[in-house]
Amino acid sequence: MTRPVVGIIGNLQVIGGDYAVQAVGIMNIDAMTTAADALPLIVPAMPSIGSVAEILATCDGFLFTGGRPNVHPKHYGEQETEAHGTFDLDRDAVTLPLIRLAVEAGKPILGICRGFQEMNVAFGGTLHPEIRDLPGRMNHRMPPEGTQAEKFAHRHTVTLDPDGEFARIFGNDEVMVNSLHGQGICKPGPRVIIEGRASDNTPEAIRIAGAPGFALGVQWHPEYNAAHDEVSRPLFAAFGEALRAYRNR
Sign of the Cα pseudo-torsion (21, 25, 26, 32, in order): negative
Segment 51-64 shows an average pLDDT of 97
Reply yes or no on whether the pLDDT at 243 is more than 70.
yes
* 113 a catalytic residue: yes
H helix intervals, 123-228: 148-151, 165-170
Segment 71-96 shows an average pLDDT of 93
User: Does domain 5-248 bear CATH number 3.40.50.620?
Assistant: no
pLDDT in tens, 9-57: 999 999 999 999 999 999 999 999 999 999 999 999 999 999 999 999 9
Q: Are 43 and 55 in contact (CB under 8 A)?
A: yes
Please report, to the nearest 10 degrees, the dihedral formed by the alpha carbons of residues 136, 141, 142, 146 taken in order: -50
| Chain center to CA of 115 | 3
Segment 73-86 shows an average pLDDT of 90
Q: Catalytic: which of 118, 130, 165, 223?
A: 223
pLDDT in tens, 96-147: 999 999 999 999 999 999 999 999 999 999 999 999 988 999 989 988 888 9
- Cα gap 187→125, rounded to integer Å: 5
Q: Are 215 and 207 in contact (CB under 8 A)?
A: yes
The pLDDT, as a whole number, for residue 126 is: 98
Domain assignments of the chain as residue spans, ordered by start: 5-248
Query: Which comes out higher in pLDDT, residue 82 or 25?
Result: 25
Reply yes or no on whether the pLDDT at 1 is more than 70.
no
- Cα gap 216→63, rounded to integer Å: 10
The contacts of residue 214 (CB under 8 Å, 6+ apart) are 61, 108, 109, 110, 238, 239, 242, 243
Which residues face 97 on adjacent strands?
Answer: none
Q: Catalytic: which of 113, 128, 165, 195?
A: 113
Q: How far is CA 126 from CA 90, 139, 200, in A?
A: 19, 20, 18
Q: Are 205 and 172 in contact (CB under 8 A)?
A: no
- Cα gap 159→178, rounded to integer Å: 14
Strand, helix or coil for residue 221: coil
pLDDT in tens, 166-213: 999 999 999 999 999 989 999 999 999 999 999 999 999 999 999 999
pTM equals 0.96
Q: Are 167 and 152 in contact (CB under 8 A)?
A: no
Amino acid at 73: P
